Amino acid sequence: MSLEMNTFVKSIDDSIVPQWLSAFEVLGMKCEIHPEFSFTNQTGFLPFKLSLSSPAHKEWEGKSFLTGFEFYISDFDLNIELEELNPKPSALKKLFGKPEPYKQYANSSIDSKLTTCRKVLHCVWGSADTFELRMASVSSAILAELTEGICAYPADDEWYESVNLAEKMAAEAHEFESSLKPGELRVHEFDTWS
């Protein structure tokens, strides 16, 4: 089973990568991204090298781990999405049917912010690696903050303002990791980029 955070942005390019990694470090996560990464052609698993300054488990201290998440970028146009949610009624339905209530993509506040967004960043994680949740949710939040974008967790139809969201996501990830017993930990020590 996998879960997903979506980040809606106006645009994004590789110039943001140093800020992304710097934001991780501010949150106590020293990260390196795979050296061949580019927003222009990334699809599938996005690997990171991760070291935590305050790990949830003592055995993680002083170690680096190979982790990551599935990362995809797709186009987004709110007008197209709204047209799909609100199809034009047929002539018969116009004559004899009740008018359907207008459906918003999220709500009026969120929809107004989505009008300028042209891309969706899909950060998908599963349970194969303990750090996937951390990397996907914190990345989604950081990228939203850096691009003035907006995050969503589609599984629960939750929308997040990006103010301090990365801190909140990092704290939730730490809480999750702390709740795991040693036999439940699935981590992979970093050796080399493959």
Q: Predicted confidence band at 177 (pLDDT cuts at 50, 70, 90)?
A: very high
Residue 106 lies in a domain: no
Give the whole-angstrom CA distance, residue 86 versus residue 98: 14
First to last CA, the chain: 26
pLDDT digits over 25-35, tens only? 999 999 999 99
Contact 141, 8 (CB under 8 A): no
Residue 105 lies in a domain: no
pLDDT digits over 43-79, tens only? 999 999 999 999 999 999 999 999 999 999 999 999 9
Question: Domain range spanning residue 152?
Answer: 3-76+117-184
Residue 64 lies in a domain: yes
Give the whole-angstrom CA distance, residue 105 versus residue 24: 31
Residue 97 lies in a domain: no
Domain count, the chain: 1
Would you state the pLDDT for residue 2? 82
Residue 107 lies in a domain: no
17-26 and 132-147 helices cross at what angle (nearest 10)?
120
Contact 135, 66 (CB under 8 A): no
pLDDT digits over 74-117, tens only? 999 999 999 999 988 776 666 666 778 889 999 999 999 999 99
Would you state the pLDDT for residue 98? 74
pLDDT digits over 135-146, tens only? 999 999 999 999
Residue 112 lies in a domain: no
